[in-house]
Structure formats: C-alpha cells, structure tokens
Structure 1
Amino acid sequence: MKNADSCSNSHLGGLSKLAQADDWSDGVPNGGLEADPANSTPGSRLSQATFGMISLGCCFGWSSLALPYLQRNLENNSNATGEMDYIDELHSSDNFSYKIPDSRHNRLVNFSIHSEPDARVGDLVTMEEGALISSLLAIGALFGSLPAGYLANICGRKTMIQILNVPLFVGWLAIIFADRNVIILYLARFLQGIALGLSSVFIPLYNEEISEAPIRGALGTIYNTMVNVGVLFIAIAGSCLPYLWVNITSASIVIVSAVALSWIPESPIYLLMKGQKLSAQNSLSILRGSNFNPNIDIGKEFDDMEKLVDKIRDQNKYSCLESLKERLHDFRVTSPTAKTFYIVTLLMVCRQLSGVNGILFYGVDFFRESGSSISPYVSNIVVSIVEVVSGLGSFLLVDRLGRRFILIGCGAVFVFVYFTLSLYLYFKKMNYDIESVEWIPLLIIMIDFFVYDLGIGTISFLMMAELTRSTESKGWITSTASMVNWLGIFMCTYFFPAMIHYIGDMGTYIMFGILNIIGTTFIFLFVPETKFRSG
C-alpha cells in the first residue's frame, strides 16, 4: 500500500478512482456495488457526516452579514427599510458587550450586527481589507484541498472528517474575539478555508464509499445542499441576533458535528485498503444494519468491495512519477485527454463568470445599495431559501432535461439577469421614478441564484466526474479544475468590491452579462451531453 498512498496526493485522492462508477464491480448495473434498496438503512450516517457542512456554509454567508458591521458606523443610520427603531429596541440591552484586549487601547464593543455606537473611523475595516477577509476563505480552501487525498488514505476518512473540525472551530473562535482586528480575521478566514478545502474531499469521498448504488447519485447533491442550508442559517441568525451571537451559534454547530461524528463507522473501503478485513466487515454491517437484522446479506457487496480494492492496488503498482510520465507522454493538444482537460477547466471558469459568489459574499451590501424596498436582511434570507430549493431541484431535473440543455438555458438566463439589473440601475441613476418596481433587484437575484444552483453550480462538478470517468488522467484533471475553481472564487470575491467602486455597479453587471454570453457560447459549441454517459 505504500505506492497507493504515495499516488493519492492529488486533490481527490482515492475519490478520483472510487468515483469511477463504471469500474466498481463487474456485471453490476451502472457500475455500483450491488445492494437491495429494500435493505437500505436510513441515511443517518450520511446526515452525521455532512452535518458539519452547515457550519462551513455559515463561513460562505458570514461576510455578507459581518462586513456591514465591520465597515460601517451605523449608529445614526437605518437599514433599507427604516427598521432602526425596532432593532435598537431588540438590542437595547448591554448583555452582549464586553472588553476586547487591543494593543492600541481597550474599548467597549457592542456586538450588534446592526449598530456600533462606539466604533471609531480608524477602527473600521476598509474596502480592501473587507475584500481580503471575504476572499481568503477560497485561498485557505485551495491549500486545504491539496494534501486532502493523501491524508484521507493515510489517516482514514472518518478520522480526517473529525480533524477538520479543529481549524473550523479555531477559526470561529478567532472571529469571536477578533472584533475588527484584521490580522486575526485574515487568519480566521484562512483556517476556515482550510477546513472547507479538506471537507470538499473527505465528505464526498466518505459518502461515495459507504453508499449503495440506488442512492449514490442522490448523494452528489447532499454536500452542496448542506452548504446552502448553512448559508440560510446564518442569514436568518444574522437578521435577528447580535454579531457576537451569530459567531457563537455558528461555532456551536462545529461542536455538535464533532460529537455526532463519534457514532459513524470508518469507510469499509478504506479499512480494506489497510488490510483490516474484519473491521471492514463490521463497518459494512453497521452501515447496512445487518448486525441488527440477520436477514440482510452483505456478502455479495463485500466481495465487490474487495475486488474494487484489488483493482485500485493494481492501478497503483507503479510510482506516481512513472504514472505521471506515462500520462503526460500521451497528452497532446488534440488528444481526447487534452479536450477533456480544456472542457472541464473552462466549465469551472464559466462557474465563476456567473458572478454569484460576488453577490453571495456581499449580499446585504448589494441589496442595501440597489435601493430595494425590502430589507437587505430579509432579501438575503429569501435568496438563501431559493438556493436550498434550487439545489434540490437540480437533482430532480438533471437526468430528465440533460446537462447541456440546462447549462445553455441557465447561461441565457444569466445574460438576461445581468442586463436587466443593469437597466434597473441605469433608471435609478437617472432619477427615474422606480418606486413601483423596487422589488426588481430581489427578484432578479432570486432568479440568478436559482439558475446557478440548478445549473452550473451543481452540474459543473457532475460533468467533471462524467467527462473524466474513462480516462487514466482523471486525478490530475480534477485536481487542476478544482484549483481553478478555488482561484476563481478568490478572484471573484476579492475584486468584486473594487469593480463596483471603480467601474460602478451598472458597469460591473454589464461586464458579467457579456462574460456570460462568451461562456454560454463556449458551452453551446464545445461541451458535449453526458446524460447516461458510461465512458
């Protein structure tokens, strides 16, 4: 197993091999491990493994709620709906105030996300600092994902899912005590990003290895769905809780997740890779419930798992360097592998051209500046609900309508959304009477997020797995595409405020509309349909 471990230092590690569903077993439909759906046990193990994604989703939605507090003195201001009287009453108590040690001075901090009566101009986070605080999450995720495959094969899937809670919790703890100390906030967001990068490998890999064939496709939506639930959770918490308690609540989810993970078994695939056959049998028995119900037979499924592990060992009998040399030797500009690489990588670029991450990370500011008649906090909650619903809708429609059709349709909607939003902002800038249509920004962004999670946000990763399924270069292609994705998120979230500042909100959204025309044209011309594709 030495060579197997050394070869797994790619982003997806073992998943790059295990996710090749067509290779899971011979003679089993769809390539999955054969299992009777009637014998399936409830998805409690999957829920426990993915519960921590709620807190990671909170990391995505945190900056939208936190930056208004960190960057503005709102003592004498009201939010977009003039709700300040109600909010002052809600946070009139000083129960949420305490001293923060500071190298410059000690001052009393009121941890309200809506008001900050004691903030001084020199203490406020600047636009550049806020952009870096938001975007460092993606850089941390990039660094966290690089060694994840190697660590999963060395330490185990369950163990690493538990360990990733450490940087996540430390990150939330740092945010709780940082207030406006940007250095600590930088470190906190980077640590949270590391946890996010680790989870993006460990949790899908664990779910893939413990699931049965009839439900394996559905598991592709669980990761993103739980992240969206986390974004929704912090949007709701941020609309009614002080800043301090938003962070404490998010940190408490990490503790609950760590406790819940104590009851999940290790992946039987991993245990077989380590030669622990009895432990693997026991793990599979727990997952399928055969230790409680003797009528459930796991023999055939366990045999298929052993065959799969033997196949992985055969594939990894050569060193990583030898495998890499062999694959690069066959890589040519016009080769099928090269075409797959171009398509998968550019799909990740198109994912960021949607502009959704820029709006997600600065949602409250977006709705406040757009002049919407609806509270920016309420608007943020509504959009988060749309994300959860559309993520589930993607699973229901992707096999009925086809990947390519949905991607092209969603790209056309992105173009419509950004040009319509730009037109609204133009009328607003020219002082036209738009009072009767001030709901347009919320509707437009609801559509934007709906089509994103219905289409490119989910399908890009699904197509990445399907397009690379039959190639031996799957590992490095998916690793590179993942790096492009994280770098794209960083660039989008870091430069989004600067674009709004220097070319204006109208110019920014016109640019996104033009970029989506280019991205949709690329999908139309070069991206194949992968519906029911088997190799």
Structure 2
Amino acid sequence: MRLLPKEEDSDDSLYGAVPLPLIQRDHATSTHGSEGGSHSWEGTRNQHLAAFLAGLGALCAGAVQGWTAPALPYLLHEAGAGTNYTAGAPAPISADQASWVGAIAALGGLAGALPAGHLADTLGRRAVLLLLSLPFALAWLLVVAFPVTVPALYASRFVAGVAMGAVTVVVPIYNEEIAEDRLRGPLGIYLDLMVTVGILWSYAVGAAVPYVWLAALCGLLPLLFAAAFWRAPESPVFLASRDRWDEAEKALRWLRGSRSLDDQAVKGELVRLHLSVAGVRRHLGLSRLSALRDTARSFYLGSPAGKAAFVVTGLMVVQQLTFINAFLFYTEDIFRGIAGASVSPLTSTVVVGVVQCLATAASFLLVQVCGRRPLLLASALVIALSVGTLAVDLAAAGEGAGPAGWLPLACLCVCMVAYSLGLGPLPWLMMAELAPVEHKGLISSLAVFVNWVLVFAVTFAFNGLVALLGAAATYGGICAACLMGTLFVYLVVPETRGKSREEIQDGLRFRPLVLACRS
C-alpha cells in the first residue's frame, strides 16, 4: 500500500494518496499520539531493543577507551600493576610511547568522524554500523598477534580509533531517527551508557586476566555486535529520504509495535517523514557543485543549521574541557600518582567505572523528568566544584598538609557521576536532535571531529600539564573551564525535551541564538 506520492507528482498532488483529515491531525496521530501502536508496550520494547543493539557498537568503543587503564601499567611494567605486572622484565615501551598509545586512538577518531556522516547518508545507518565491526575486530587481532610491538600497538589504536570516531557519529543519528518523541531522550542515552559499560569491561577484565587475554576478550565484542545487530531495522528516516517507502513503513511498524495495516499513527508519522525529508530528496537531485553551494548557503550563523552546528560543537568543546577522557585513559596512573590515597589504584579504577555506569543508567529517567538544560547546567557546575576541591586538596598537600586518603577517589567519583548525568550523554543526544535532517550527517561529523580533536589534545597534554604546572594547577584550570562551560549552556543551549523535530527546528529558525535558552 503506497501512502505517499511519487517523486514526479506535482506539488498540487503532494497529499493525493493521504486522506486530508489525517494530515490535519498529523501531530495528534503521530509520535505524540496514543492511537494504534504508538504508545504500545511492544513498540517501546522494540525501540529500546534496536537502540541497545546499535549501542553494542558503542560498547566496542568503550572497551577501546578503557583498555589503556589496565594495559599501560603492564606495558610500562609499573609496580602495583596487579596481575598484569611481570617483575624484573624490561618495559616494552617508554613513557613517551605510552602517551602516544593513549592518544593515537583519538587521531583515528578524527579520521573516522569526518566521512562517517556522509557514509551514513549514502549507505545507510545500519550498513555503516555493521561495517564498523571489521576495524574493531582487526584492531584487537593486532594486539593479540603482536602484543608488545610498538608499531603494531600504534596501528591497532589508530584503526580502533577510526571505528570509534565513526560509531560516535552514526549511533546517535540512528537512535534519534528510530525514536518516538517521547522516547528520544532515553534512547539517546544508549551511546554513552554502552561506552561506559565497555570502559568498565576493560577495567574489570584487565584487573582479572593477563594482558593478552584482555585483548582477546575485547576482540569478541565486535563479533557479538555484528551478530546481534544484523537483524535490526534500518532507520525509517534514511529509507524515506531514498524514497523507499515500503521499507520505511515496514521498519516503522515494527519500531512502533503496530500490527494493523491501517494504523493512523503510523500513517501520520509517514506523512511527517515525507515533509521532513523533502529537503534531503531535493538535495540529492542537485549536481555535486550545486549541492555544495546549497549546503554553504544553509550554514550562516542565523540559520537553523548554523545555530545547530554552533550549539552542538560548543557542547562538544565543553564536554572535553572537563578532561574526562584523560581521567579515563590514565585512571590508574592518576591514583598511583596521588600520594596519600588509601585505596589501591586498581581498585579505584574499577570503582570509578562502576560509579560511571550506574550514573549513566540513572540518566535514563532524569533526562525525561528534568530535561536537557537543567542536567547540563548541574553537570558542569558539579564537575567544576569536585575538580576544584581536588585542586585545593592537592595544593594543601604541597604545602605540607597530607591529602585525605579517600578524597581523591571521592572527588573523581563525584566528577564521573556529574559527567554521566549530563555532559557525558546529552551532547550526543542533542547533536542528533538539533541538526536538520538534510544536514544531520555533516553537522554530526563536524561536531564529532571537533570532539576527537580535543580528545587527542587533552589526552596527549594531560601528563605534560601535570608535570609542567603541577597537579593542583592543572585541576584548577579544568575547574575554570567547567565554569565557563556552565555559562555557555545557560546562554545558548535550548531545551528540547518533549518537542518534535519540527518544533525544534522552528525554535532554531525564529529565536535569536543567545535567547534560545528561553524556548
């Protein structure tokens, strides 16, 4: 049954195949409505299941991020590296090489992020995610085959980084496009939740098994991802943008749990899809040069696309100026370097991973109850306070007053909780929410590219800053950056909770950028 007109139909017949009353009550019978399968338990379950399966790709990325915490102490043969430490043997890598092992994945992230949006727009969200299981598996195979060979470690981290960068572009787009408006917040959390689970996987497994076995067990994750995600549906938005309406309707019915061929809610959502992807289909009909000019004209700062790009890129900058990735990559080193800490570095690392997972899981509920802006504001402010407290404590220790043994772990746990409730998951969610459909791939790629540039910068610079300025001054600078980030969120970031794609775009179109927070 064809609900929508062919591409060659005239504008006068745009709704010729759709009953007029259905169009008039579009908002009432689409993703906000309760007719048909729109609010069914089965539809809710199917959307969460699809988002979870896509999130397994983020699980693979998290394992890559967390691997350095247990692996680098082994590679450096540092005392206290637990079961991974081989006493008396020469260290396979130097401290400088260890910094590159930690940071080079971010360079791969840069290379993976830029083309990911275009590939997702060309091949489809599902197809790109399935293909990304290959570089993840190859990266771990290199570590297993050449466990202490520096060039192989560099290659492994770069290849894994390419896959990480692409995953962080495509998963948020996929999860936003399969979600009803009422579920967009919770489904948008899956990316960060699964990344934290993957980080905890590396922390916990690395504390229990030898170094090579850690890589081998991490290598099973992309195989699990490919097998599980194989039967997941393609994004209905992508299918609609390619005029594959029968497939889009089939995917949408499954995602909404609809068993009726005459479900008015699904029909209404298909009508809205037709309107929202009209710009995409027009763009596809242009020549390459004309398409480039059209895109350039759409990105002035006062346009919805320009405002969306500015807001999401700013959120990525604020996110990374918390230096959270440096904390994750060097968790054991941080605790090993804090004199007076009474909890072992290995135990502290696992505790931090558990706390981060639990806090991210809690954001499932809070993002719907509290909204995006309040969580972002509270997150940035609490991180500033916790890191500032640690800076004051370390400064006092430098003057002869020993730090409280539990305080470093407590401060870092508070920082992780605050990050996981706001600045961790919400920039990724809002990246997919704010970007117009026709520019979603490009805006997402640019924002994630900036994110990975900063991941590389903070990861590579963290140890050098601590050595140059001291831990207290470094953490004090992070505190100041978080306070500036709080101001950015207050002035610029709009609230998107409970709004449809059309309402979000109207807010970007008709409100001044700095007053967007009032919408």
TM-score band, normalised by the shorter chain? Answer: 0.7 to 0.9
Q: Which of these residues, 280, 296, 301, is aligned with residue 266 of structure 2?
A: 301
The residue aligned with 2:401 is 432
Matched, 1:200 2:200: no
Aligned to 2:104: 136
Aligned to 1:116: 86
- Does residue 1:70 correspond to 2:38, yes or no? no
Quick one: which amino acid aligns to residue 488 of structure 1? L
| Structure 1 residue 488 displacement after superposition | 0.8
Aligned to 2:467: 501
> Counterpart of 2:487 in 1: which secondary structure?
helix
Corresponding residue for 2:285?
Answer: 317
Task: Work out which of the residue numbers 493, 499, 518 in structure 1 matches 2:484.
Answer: 518
Is the 1:39–1:296 contact (alpha carbons within 8 Å) kept by the matching residues of 2? Answer: no
1:505 is displaced (CA, Å) by 1.6
Q: 1:129 to 1:193 in 2, by over 3 A?
A: same
Paired residues for 1:182-221 under 5 Å: 182-221=150-189
Q: Which has the higher helix share?
A: 2
How far apart in 1 are the matches of 2:126 and 2:376?
35
Paired position in structure 2 for 1:255:
223
Is 1:492 matched with 2:462?
no
For the Cα contact (< 8 Å) 1:25–1:32, is it kept in 2?
Answer: no
C-alpha deviation, 1:463, in angstroms: 3.8
1:345 is matched with which residue: 294, 299, 313? 313
SS of 1:32's equivalent?
coil
> After the TM superposition, which of the residue ranges 518-527 and 372-381 deviates more from structure 2?
518-527
Q: 2:287 & 2:231 partners in 1: Cα distance?
A: 36
The TM-score, its normalising length taken from structure 2, stands at 0.80
Q: Unaligned stretches of 5+ in structure 1?
A: 1-23, 80-86, 88-111
How far does the alpha carbon of each residue in 1:229-285 deviate from its partner, in whole angstroms, 9 at most, with x for none? 111111111111111211111111222222223333444554555555555555555
Name stretches of at least 5 consecutive residues in structure 2 with no aligned partner.
Answer: 1-22, 508-519
Q: How many positions carry a matched residue from both structures? A: 469
Q: Which residue of 2 aligns with 1:50?
A: 55
| Cα pair distance change 1:503/1:175, threshold 3 Å | same
Cα drift, residue 341 of structure 1: 4.2
The 2-side partners of 1:265 and 1:528 are apart by: 31
1:131: how far off?
1.8
Residue 66 of structure 1: CA displacement? 0.9
Counterpart position of 1:230? 198
Identity, % of aligned pairs? Answer: 32
- Where do residues 313-392 of structure 1 align in structure 2 (5 Å cutoff)? 313-319=281-287, 321-326=289-294, 328-329=296-297, 340-371=308-339, 372-392=341-361
Distance verdict in 2 for CA 1:463–1:152, change over 3 Å: closer
The whole-number CA distance in structure 1 between the counterparts of 2:351 and 2:257 is: 39
Q: Pick one of 443, 448, 457 that aligns with 2:415.
A: 448
Task: State whether residues 58 and 168 of structure 2, in contact with CA within 8 Å, keep that contact through their aligned partners in structure 1.
Answer: no
Q: Indicate how the Cα distance of structure 1 residues 275 and 327 shifts in structure 2: closer, same or farther if over 3 A, else same.
A: closer
- Segment of structure 1 superposing worse, 377-386 or 360-369: 377-386
Relative to 1, partners in 2 of residues 1:523 and 1:156: Cα closer, same or farther, differing over 3 Å?
closer
Report SS of the residue matched to 2:285.
coil
Residues 206 and 352 from structure 1, CA distance in 2 versus in 1: closer, same or farther, beyond 3 angstroms? closer
Indicate if the aligned counterparts of 2:101 and 2:157 stay in contact, CA closer than 8 A.
yes
Amino acid in structure 2 at the alignment position of 1:440: L
Q: Which amino acid aligns with 1:497?
A: N
Q: Distance in 1 between matches of 2:301 and 2:242?
A: 39
Q: Which residue of 1 aligns with 2:510?
A: none
CA separation in 2, counterparts of 1:358 and 1:513? 14
Cα distance in 2 for partners of 1:520, 1:284 equals 38
CA contact (8 A) 2:69 2:329 kept: yes
State the Cα distance separating 1:486 from its structure 2 match: 1.2
Q: TM-score, with normalisation over the residues of structure 1?
A: 0.78
Displacement of 1:38 in angstroms is 1.9
Deviations 1:476-496 (A, max 9, x none): 444322221111111111111
CA contact (8 A) 1:25 1:31 kept: no
